[in-house]
Structure 1
């Protein structure tokens, strides 16, 4: 799964969203939880504030009285982190009353301008305690004798370490949960992408089966989004077969239309003596050779475009061996065939027979006593077929000339001279290679490299 893979792109895009959304969710959840625990903490402070106001207010008095205990021993322990104080709003440097936990200290409250009151006229803020600890503070302005009486600042503070510890514990659990969730989502995304792309893998598998000849069209139930692709590919495959079939029919009709008149001309010319008749026969044979060559090329080109042609190499070569054994039996040629097990050619059987048949026939014509045919797999997508004989062989210049169109190096041997040219054309059309080399025994070695199925 590389960078150009569709699965890779889908997985990365989904994973990127997970990496973006989860941290944002963590920040939002942490913020909401902090607000929640601050509200709960403030509610405790408000309870103590209410108790402090009630304990210090005398009926009909304008000045707070010394409050009794708030019912919370924590305010009696020196520097416990929980404190309260009552201080006049104007003209007082020291508080009127403080909790036993403050001893002779006082709370350093933020300025009233910096902390506006809430709906209950209470100011809520953070500050520092006498020991430098961080405190959560609530402050309220109280006028015991009414709106016209002197005002007093009532303040209650608690150690915010409880808030921080609670928040830290929640954050640890949240991070762990979100990490597990992120990993789970990433793994789920990976399998979701693979599952979602299964239909495309099925199409690829079916196309490979068509190419190898194991199937004729794409089959199976596919999702609605991919069904049109299956339909169009099947139509394309059928169109390809129809075009090839029409080309074959056209080539056959053209061959019949041209060769029949040429045969009539040749026969009529042979019925008369004289240089003119000989010239007509000669030119007619040249035309027949050229027509055969070009029609064979057209036929080969049409067949090479067929999708799904696959040929078993071993039975095809063995059938050719038997046929040539009957033809050249009187020469006593020892024709040996060696083929790798299960070797298959990616192409039409007729084309493979024509290529290897021409090479084997040519080798039998020139061999002194033996011809060796060897077929091997070179790689997953390539096979090699070599035909070696022990004949006189060819020079380098003759080997190059032999594959040219309609070249016959020895007129004493039967044939049109088109065989090796057709072999070269066929190999080229199948994107393979054809070469003539000197055999180890001194004869000729013809080598084909073709696509494997």
Structure 2
């Protein structure tokens, strides 16, 4: 799984914070609106109770409002309900709108007020207000009555739903605008980091040798130190290769003189001539081995362009076909499209050259080369899989690990110093790869190496 970018993490974190903040804000506003709305309904019910009281007239020992200004009391299903009951709980007046609703108002004592929520027969809710009073009739008699009014909550819920929809819409648009503004600002602020990434990729591709200038003060230390590290690495590698090359070349002349001396008549007659010749030969092998190492850098080749595998292998195949032209060998080459080697070209030449040279030495009639890409979604560059096969005698199972050691040779009659495969193994490991020896379908050896994607 590819890791998320810093911008994505910041935007996701900000989105979560905004959702939490706006959620709490919407909840607070919703609670405030509910409280204000219920208080408004309570105030309206207070007004309706006062209206009933002012319009009440004595009627056969009870009370009945006369000439109500509110027509909804007379319309069934209007959402406004009223009732007047005496001390025995017997209604002296019920509004026509109360018919069929199933609303049961609470009984309260004189001077008591009760505001709350009731249920209609259909399960919907109403808010009610019941007030206990004491009425003095014309004959001076005081009798208790309970005035009750109720209002349907359907308009309240509809209004609450509209408000919630608007709140979510407004805060949603506001959050999108804030995230868009933050994303734009973040893009501007992180542009130097993207530039660093692009220039590092260019350095890996070999298009640049170091990072450019003009970076903000916060990144100046990083870019300056990285450039110093790149220059130091290049200089260190150059010194390493030059030192090995100079050391090996400085030994070549004395060794050549010693070999010439060993061919003279006086020296050949000495009893230790054979031992001297063997030791000089070993020294000559070591010099050749170090020269080969000095010619190859190893590693990922930072600052060098990827090597075209087809071009490199075709050049090696053509050269070896000319060297072994008398044997009439054929060499089949199959390279996948876009196959490249991430590293120094000299490394690939040394690796493939040694393997192909061994294959041509041992093959009877045919050599086959196959190169494929190793693709990884998490890697920026593909890896390489190289397989070289021949139809020769092959490599016995017991000897497959030994042939990769320096100086190991399966047949002393075949020319060579026995250091080629050790160089191949070392370079493959330096480039983060592995090498495997098996039996080929052609009948001979099959050597497969894999360079992992980076």
Corresponding residue for 2:116? 126
Q: Give, in whole Å, the separation in 2 of the partners of 1:357 and 1:254.
A: 24
In structure 1, C-alpha distance between the alignment counterparts of 2:387 and 2:85, rounded to whole Å: 110
1:160 aligned to 144, 151, 159, which one? Answer: 151
- Residue 248 of structure 1 is matched in structure 2 by 241
Other-structure match for 2:405: 404
Task: Give 1:212 shift.
Answer: 4.8
Partner residue, 1:171: 160
1:379 aligns to what? Answer: 374
Q: 1:411-448, CA deviations, whole angstroms, 9 ceiling, x for partnerless residues? A: 44433221122122222322333344444454444433
Q: 1:329 aligns with which of 319, 325, 331?
A: 325
- TM-superposed CA distance for 1:357, in Å, is 1.3
CA distance in 1 between counterparts of 2:47 and 2:290 reads: 107
User: Which one is further off, 319-328 or 193-202?
Assistant: 193-202
Q: 1:45 to 1:433 in 2, by over 3 A?
A: closer
Note closer, same or farther for the CA distance 1:266–1:137 as it changes in structure 2 (3 Å cut): same
Aligned mates of 2:314, 2:110 — CA distance in 1: 106
- Contiguous gaps of at least 5 residues in structure 1: 58-64, 116-122, 145-149
- 1:290 has 2:286 as partner: yes
Aligned pairs for 1:271-286 within 5 A:
273=267, 274-276=270-272, 279-286=275-282
Greater Cα offset, 211-220 or 319-328: 211-220
Q: Secondary structure at the match of 1:304?
A: coil
| Distance in 2, Cα, partners of 1:129 & 1:386 | 84
What is aligned with 1:72? 70
Cα contact 1:76–1:99 (8 A) shared by 2: no
Q: Does 1:414 find its partner at 2:405? A: no
* Distance in structure 2 (CA, Å) of the matches to 1:256 and 1:449: 33
Question: Which residue does 1:60 correspond to in 2?
Answer: none
Q: With the length of structure 1 as denominator, give the TM-score of the two structures.
A: 0.68
CA distance in structure 1 between the aligned counterparts of 2:254 and 2:109, rounded to whole angstroms: 118
Preserved CA contact (<8 Å) 1:312 1:345: yes
Alpha-carbon distance change, 235 to 213 in structure 1, aligned in 2, over 3 angstroms:
same
Give the unaligned 5+ runs of structure 2: 58-62, 99-103, 376-381
Structure 2 CA distance, aligned partners of 1:240 and 1:175? Answer: 63
In 1, Cα distance between the equivalents of 2:115 and 2:235? 85
Deviation of the 1:344 alpha carbon: 1.4
Tell me what 1:347 maps to.
Answer: 343
Q: Return the alpha-carbon distance in structure 1 between the equivalents of residues 89 and 452 of structure 2.
A: 101
Distance 1:216 1:93, change over 3 A: same
1:233-272 correspondence runs (5 A): 236-263=229-256, 266=259
Across the aligned residues of Structure 1 and Structure 2, the Cα RMSD in angstroms comes to 5.2
